[in-house]
Every structure is written in C-alpha cells, then in structure tokens.
Structure 1
Amino acid sequence: MPLSNPGIAFAVVVVAVITLACRLAPFALLRGRRSPLLAFLADAMPLGVMIVLAAYTLDGVSLAPASWLPAVAGIAATAGLHLWRRSIGLSLIGGTAVYVAASLAMA
C-alpha cells in the first residue's frame, strides 16, 4: 500500500524524532559523570575519526595523479588546518573543500 504525502511526512517526523532521541540519550544519561573511559574516548576519538576519514579518502586511489593528488591535497590541508587551529570542524570543512576543489581542477 503506497503512502500518501501526509503519511510520508509523518514517517519522516517519526524517524527524525527517534534519531534525535538516540543521539541525545548518551549525553542525558552521562550528564555530570566523568569516568576514565569517557576521558579516554574524548581524547582518542578526534584522532580516530581523522584516521578513518583519511583511510576512506585513500580507498580506491590509483597511481594516476588525477586520483591521488586531490586526496593528498585534502589530507594535507586537513592536517595543516588541524595543527594550526586545533578545530575539528575547520579541519574537516577546509580539507573537504581543498579535496573537492582539487578534484574539480583535475577533472
């Protein structure tokens, strides 16, 4: 049975509320608590996220400069911005912008 437009809108709202609740639950449950595990995760997660993103960027890179040059430029920009400002948001957005610009320039 196909959904009508109001049915689709209702489904999207329900999914959005559930997603928001799942993302807020850990913060609400752990408010005011500071365990050694949480301290370790707070220190290790930013680097872990960067490593995963770098590995994902390099997946499928070939020896052609049009393939590896944008990836290397994006990773270098991300690392440079992070070392300069220590801002994960700036690093991710700046590195992504450099990667996209280099990819478009090489196309």
Structure 2
Amino acid sequence: MPDTPYLVAAVLLSAAVTWGLRALPFAALAPLRASRTVQYLSRGMPAGVMVILLVYCLRDLPLTEPRALAPLAALAVTIGLHLWRRNALLSILGGTTVHVVLASTVFAH
C-alpha cells in the first residue's frame, strides 16, 4: 500500500486538476461576453434551436391522417399560450397537456 505522503499528493493533485477543469470554461468565456458575436448568438440561438426541434419533431408527421391532429393542436395551443401570456412554463405545460389528452383519448387507435 502506498505511503501517506503519496496518497495526500495524489488527492491534492486530482483536486487541483478537477478545480482547474471546472473553472477553465468560466475564465475562458469571461472575455467573450463583450463580443458582438456572442451577444448576437445569445439573442438568436434560442429561437433557432426551437425551430430546429420543431422541424425535427414534425418531419414525419402524416398530415393527411387524423392522428396528426393531436400534435398540431398541441402546437397551436403552445404558440397561442406563449403569444398570450409570454410564459414558457405555461406554454409547455398547456401544449403537453393538450397533446397527451388528445393522443391518449380522442385519437387513440
């Protein structure tokens, strides 16, 4: 078994490496916060990510079948709630509730 000074040195070294790896992103990103590009991306990326997720989720939706009504109704409710109240949590919960209710009861096969 290794002696005590070796174990203490190993623990201290691993603690220093862990702390450094966790602090490095904050230290590296601090100068970038004033960048115009980063500020632009912070405004535009959330909407872009949502559009990509929307397209991904609805890409295989058969619009000619009745089962497409549940996700489309849920999408309409989500958009409507968000435009009305500007509350992301309410929009997500409302749309999810509508989808679950419609998919499990009305349009279940």
Compared with structure 1, are the counterparts of its residues 53 and 95 closer, same or farther at alpha carbon in structure 2 (3 Å cutoff)?
A: farther
Indicate the structure (1 or 2) with the bigger Cα radius of gyration.
2
Give identity over the alignment, percent: 39
AA at the equivalent of 1:103: A
CA RMSD of aligned residues (A): 2.7
Gaps of 5+ in 1: 1-20
Q: How many residues align?
A: 84
CA distance in 1, matches of 2:94, 2:53: 14
Compared with structure 1, are the counterparts of its residues 34 and 84 closer, same or farther at alpha carbon in structure 2 (3 Å cutoff)?
A: farther
User: What residue number does 2:65 align with?
Assistant: 64
Give the TM-score taking structure 2 as reference length.
0.59
Compared with structure 1, are the counterparts of its residues 43 and 75 closer, same or farther at alpha carbon in structure 2 (3 Å cutoff)?
A: same
Q: How does 1:41-56 map to 2 (within 5 A)?
A: 41-56=41-56
Give the TM-score taking structure 1 as reference length.
0.60
